[in-house]
Every structure is written in C-alpha cells, then in structure tokens.
Amino acid sequence: MNHFKKLALGVAAIGLVTAPAIAGYKLMPAGVPVAVAKSGLTITPSIDWNRLGSRPGRNAESWTLDGLTLNDVTFYGGIPNNTTLFKDAKKKTEPLPRFSSTMLIPDIAQLFESSYRVSVGTSLMSIDAVKPATFAGSPGFHFSYSFVVQGEEVRRKGEATGAVIGGNLYMITYEAPVIHYYDASIELFHKLAETAVIRPVKK
C-alpha cells in the first residue's frame, strides 16, 4: 500500500485502538526492544503500539495507536544511497526523488517534502523548521512539517528526526491531525524516538 493511501482509510480506524485483533496490525508490546523496517534500527516502546502489516516502502514500516489517519509513526531503516523513501508507484510518470548519502540536513528535509508532494499529489505541503539534533547517539537532524491531503480539509502536522549513519538514512516521523490527535500523542512519539539505537543486523 502506498504510504499515502493509508490516509484514505478515514475515521473507520477510530475504534481500532491498541488491540492485537486489529485486522492487518500486530501488537508491539511495551518494554520489548524490536528491530524495525528490516534494519538495525531498534526501538523500545513505553506503551503498546500497533504495527501495520503492509509497508510504505522496502526500508520502512508504520505504527499507530488509534489508526493511521489519527496518529502515524513511520520508521525508515537504513535507506541506502540512490533509493526512494517510499514505493515508487508513479515511477514512469512522476518518479520519486532519491536519497543521496552526501545530502546535508536541508537536503534531507527537501527530499522528504518532494516525496510527499509526489505521493500525495498535493501542493499543500511545507517544511516548517529544520535544525540539528542527536539521533541514536549520532549527529543528526530534526524538522517539523505540515500538509493537507488533496481533496481533504483536515490539516496535519508532523515531526521527523534522524541521521545519516554509515551512508544510510535512518529516520522516524510522526504525524496526526492538528485538532486533538497531534498534541495528544506527540510526547509518546518523543519517548519512542529517544529509545532509538542502531544495532548490527543479524544475518
């Protein structure tokens, strides 16, 4: 499923709250370290989360508390050089931009914005603030963003934090509707992101 088709699931997800029986979701229990996005990026949730069964990209996966249209955390685990963030569904007509291991912090924010604009098909997307930060013990970045899905009226806000480590991009994003849900879960996202460590991938 394209990362942004999830947004079309609508408020039907409201009642699907942190239960392992949710169709297409798997319970990620509190206190258990877990490697995400088929990578060495490891997270230890402080409360139970739900992981979506399908992936927005080969090196990505999404979690939620109340449904992906209400609070969406996406992990990007070691995006290699010359690779897109999401599945390149419009490769022939509107190809997604690709990550380069030489990108600086503003370049990564621009990569993210451009990827959203193509995937959502909207011009209503902006990066609101960009700054250096520490991620998984390495020098990295933090930026905030906002967007509206084309044809909708719901305004969403988001945050991203990450770093380029070993030439690969590791990043975690959080987004939710501005009304209620963003503020309700933002601190839980911060707690989740603060547990990030990069461990060797078992082969």
Query: What is the tally of structural domains in the chain?
Result: 1
pLDDT at 32 over 60: yes
The band of 28, judged by pLDDT with boundaries at 50, 70 and 90, is: very high
pLDDT at 63 over 50: yes
What residue numbers bound the domain in which 120 lies? 26-198
Dihedral (C-alpha) 170, 145, 193, 13: value to the nearest 10 degrees? -110
Average pLDDT over residues 23-34: 91
Tens digit of each residue's pLDDT (9 = 90 or more) over 155-186:
999 999 999 999 999 999 999 999 999 999 99
CATH code for position 99:
3.40.1000.10
* pLDDT at site 66: 92
* pLDDT at site 202: 66
Instruction: Flag whether 85 is in a domain.
Output: yes
Instruction: Flag whether 123 is in a domain.
Output: yes
Instruction: Flag whether 35 is in a domain.
Output: yes
Instruction: Flag whether 4 is in a domain.
Output: no
More confidently predicted of 40 and 151: 40
* pLDDT at site 152: 85
Average pLDDT over residues 38-48: 96
Instruction: Flag whether 11 is in a domain.
Output: no
pLDDT at 23 over 70: no
Tens digit of each residue's pLDDT (9 = 90 or more) over 72-83:
999 999 999 999
Instruction: Flag whether 7 is in a domain.
Output: no
CA distance 197 to 172: 12
Total-model pTM: 0.86
CA distance 187 to 122: 28
Average pLDDT over residues 192-201: 92
Structure tokens at 182: 């963003």
- Measured CA distances, 119 to 2, 62, 135, 164, 189 (Å): 8, 16, 26, 23, 23
* pLDDT at site 138: 97
Instruction: Flag whether 5 is in a domain.
Output: no
